[in-house]
Amino acid sequence: MPYLAGLEKEGIPTVLINFGEETGKVEHDSTLYGVPKLRHIVASRNSVGGVTEAEILVKPVLEALTRPLSDEEKESGIWEPHEPRILFEGTLPEAEEFYNQTENIPGILNAPFSKYTDGLPVVIPTEERVAEMLKGTSHKPDEIITLQRDMVMDGFGPVESTTTRKKGDVVNFMPMYRTATVEQVAVNAVMAGCKPEYFPVVLAIAESGGGTGDGRGGGGGFIVSGPIYKEIGMNVTNSIFGPGNPANKTIGRVGSLLWRNLGGYKETVTTITTLGSPVTNGGFIFAEYTEGLPEGWKGLNEEMGFREDESIIMTGAMGMGEWGIGQSNAPGVYRSLQRTGHGAIARFLDVKGIPGPHNYLEYLAKDAWATRDGGFTLVMPPQIAQDLCDYGFKTKDSIYEWIWKKSFEPVSKFRMRGAQDFITNGWLGIEKTSGKPWKELPEDYMVPAGGDNPFASYNILLCNMEETACARFGGGHGQAFSIDAWR
Amino acid sequence: MAGKDKVYKCLNPVGIQPPVKTSPLAPRPGNLDGKTVHLSICGEADIWVPLEKKLKADYPNTNWSVKKRYHIVPMELSEEEKKTTDAVILGVCW
């Protein structure tokens, strides 16, 4: 859309072909990019074969390129929506009704969609409550959210490129390219139910883009590393992903409110998503338990270039949010493997009757990439980590390398993966391990199905738990943002 | 004032929207004979393969240029290419 808007402004007439459910977003984005009357033609996903659809499209497409402009299409002006600082004045019951109001959106079969929330009731952001929240930071209320340090951001897919951003760069919240003040972030933090002591974490989330991504961020997935988890009482033990812990639940929730209110997400109007993520589910956060790391294993903060005593959040590492890929096992089966060499995994590894340490990763990684690409994050208790260390993985990096190498397969098999037509730009791009064009590679050349590089694609985090269970979800290492910078 | 009747000022969670200068559409040519029309193809090969063939076959007096990418972000015309492009068709995406 920005490209087409630019062409129109340069005097080159255009027409866009889009799908039906995207029309609301097309019309909305036309205004956002400064050409409100941009012409578009709707194609069908469901017509019988592409030939029929091509025959249907030709005349309307060419007509849109040649039909003289209407008076409306010749107009220019300024689009300048204004939002007041005080949104509502009234009693608390009246405010609850106001903030929890919904509207029907045609694009989602007229289902109600909240105007200011994530669909759950919110804590009303009175002036008093917001003032209290602002005590959680030394930053001024009217300060615009900006990057707190220079950063290099990696792109993705056929347009991947590296972008350098500078300390002081203003953060834009997508899909509407909005900016925000510290106070506006505080309003959303109050609504999510956060306490003032959580606010530096919330501000770091805002600095990262607030879970908005490119407009389809889904509220985001965040990992905390560093001593702040103890200061604010994040649960890093049993039920680390479950209900009950106020910090885990409310700080995670902030992502979805920032996406709604700072980013302007409104389904089928400002953004088109598919199903959303059952993992991040509108904002998701947890913290790692570094105290249980084996000797020589670094915490996430140190892996991302910070000190052990510094607190950070990491974003962008949740991949597509898949959960529970690959094998599963009962915790007791794992214990039997390592203590006495008995049980299903011992039979799988052919180590019957031999006590451990055994390489549990051989079991976890088996067929992990059968119909899925990319890496994953493992969340495990100290015992599993120690067993891996005792087996011989003296650093987390050695594990990432080992798993990544397990994912290699011949090009002939790699070509059958569902995402790669897109990621390789129709196989026109360069394969990274060889540096050669995909089209020049022999069919038996081995390439990694498990991500571009070990560190980016894999991650291991510890939780403080006795039971030997291990959780797995998509993603590796993403971008890190300092929480301390927002104290 | 009774507690339940107390009036509160409640703040706005919505971010700051930068103003946008809106522009008219570019003037349309009367017809495309002798003009250069650029096809900016972003995925959906099942529509574009026959559509590209049909456009070229049905309108042979138009010069057709093409750039393709398997992504919603199109491969853009260079500044030089824009000088000789009279119209652009882009799809299928938003």
CA distance A339 to A335: 6
**A106: how many CB neighbours lie within 10 A of its CB?**
11
Q: What are phi and psi of A458, to 5 degrees?
A: -130, 155
| Cβ atoms within 10 Å, residue A72 | 10
Chain A residues touching B91 at Cβ < 8 A: 16-18, 43
Q: B51 vs A50: CB contact, 8 Å cut-off? A: yes
More confident residue, A38 or B48: A38
Query: How far is CA A200 from its chain centroid?
Result: 20
Of all residues in chain A, what percent are helix, strand and coil, respectively (each to 5)?
A: 35, 15, 45
The answer to whether residue A158 scores a pLDDT higher than 60 is no
A327 band by pLDDT with thresholds 50, 70 and 90: low
Contact list in A for residue B21 (CB cut-off 8 A) is: 34, 76-78
**How much is the pLDDT for A320?**
43
Identify all chain A residues contacting B76, using CB atoms and an 8 Å cutoff. Answer: 3
- Whether A7 has a pLDDT exceeding 70, the answer reads yes
For residues A131-149, give the mean pLDDT.
98
> What is the crossing angle of helices A182-192 and A199-207, to 10°?
120
Query: How far apart are alpha carbons A313 and A305 in whole angstroms?
Result: 12
Q: What is the CATH number of domain B34-94?
A: 3.40.50
Helix (H, G, I), strand (E, B) or coil at A395: coil
Asked if pLDDT for residue A46 goes beyond 90, the answer is no
B6 chain-A contacts, CB cut-off 8 A: 91-92
A79 in contact with B, Cβ within 8 Å = yes
Over residues A470-484, the pLDDT tens digits come to 888 888 898 999 999
Which of A36-50, A286-300, A408-422, A435-449 shows the lowest mean pLDDT across its residues? A36-50
- Classified as helix, coil or strand, A359 is coil
DSSP element (H, E) containing A453: none
pLDDT of residue A152: 86
In this prediction, residues B14-41 reach a mean pLDDT of 95
**What is the per-residue pLDDT across A250-272, written as a single tens digit (0 to 9) for each?**
999 999 999 999 999 999 889 88
Q: What integer is the mean pLDDT of A429-443?
A: 92
- So where are chain B's domains? 34-94
CA nearest B41 in A: which residue?
Answer: A17
- Strand ranges (E), A102-168: 102-105, 111-114, 151-154, 162-165
Mean pLDDT to the nearest integer, A64-83: 95
Task: Please indicate whether, in this complex, the C-beta atoms of B82 and A157 are within 8 angstroms of each other.
Answer: no
Task: Label residue A446 exposed, middle or buried (CB < 10 Å: 0-12, 13-18, 19+).
Answer: middle
Establish if A31 touches chain B: CB-CB under 8 angstroms: yes
First and final CA of chain B: distance in angstroms? 54
Q: Name the pLDDT band for A155 (thresholds 50, 70, 90).
A: low
In the predicted structure, residue B28 carries a pLDDT above the cut 60: yes
Amino acid at A133: M
Q: Which residues 348-407 on chain A approach chain B with CB closer than 8 angstroms?
A: none
Say how many residues make up chain A: 487
Query: For chain A, what are the domain ranges?
Result: 2-74, 120-322, 365-479
| Mean pLDDT for all residues in chain A | 91
Three-state DSSP at A49 gives helix
User: Degrees (nearest 5) of the Cα angle A106, A108, A113?
Assistant: 90
pLDDT for position B2: 53
Q: Are A211 and A296 in contact (CB under 8 A)?
A: no
Among candidates B21, B22, B94 on the partner chain, residue whose Cβ is nearest the Cβ of A22: B94
Which contacts of A109-113 are long-range, i.e. CB under 8 A and separated by 24 or more positions?
Answer: A113/A266, A113/A267
**Does pLDDT of A321 surpass 60?**
no
Average pLDDT over every residue of A134-160 = 85
Tokens of A31: 């205004």
3-state DSSP percent of chain B in helix, strand and coil, to 5? 25, 30, 50
Helix orientation angle between A127-134 and A182-192, rounded to the nearest 10 degrees: 110
Tens of pLDDT, residues A205-228: 999 998 787 777 777 789 999 999
Q: Does B66 touch chain A (CB under 8 A)?
A: no
**Hey, what amino acid is at A418?**
G
Size of interface A-B (CB pairs under 8 A): 265
**Which DSSP letter does residue A261 get?**
I
Looking at B8-91, list the stretches that DSSP marks H as alpha helix, in order from N- to C-terminal side: 45-58, 79-83
Instruction: Say yes or no to pLDDT of A382 above 50.
Output: yes
For chain B, state the CA radius of gyration.
24
Q: Whole-angstrom Cα distance, residue A76 to residue B23?
A: 5
Query: In this predicted model, what pLDDT tens digit does every residue of A108-122 receive, in sequence order?
Result: 888 899 999 999 999
Tens of pLDDT, residue by residue over B44-88, are: 677 888 899 999 999 999 999 999 887 778 899 999 999 999 999
Name the 3-class secondary structure at A379: strand
Instruction: Give me B39's structure tokens.
Output: 């096809």
Neighbours of A35 (CB within 10 A): 27
Q: Which residue has the tokens 């995207």?
A: A22
Instruction: Name the pLDDT band for A318 (thresholds 50, 70, 90).
Output: low
Residue type, A42: V
Question: So what's the pLDDT on residue A326?
Answer: 53
Overall average pLDDT of the A420-431 stretch: 83
Query: What percentage of chain A has pLDDT greater than the value 90?
Result: 70
The percentage of residues in chain A with a pLDDT greater than 70, rounded to a whole number, is: 95
Which residue in A4, A75, A257 is closest to B13 by CB distance?
A: A257
**pTM, to two decimals:** 0.91
Predicted local distance difference test score (pLDDT) of residue A139: 98
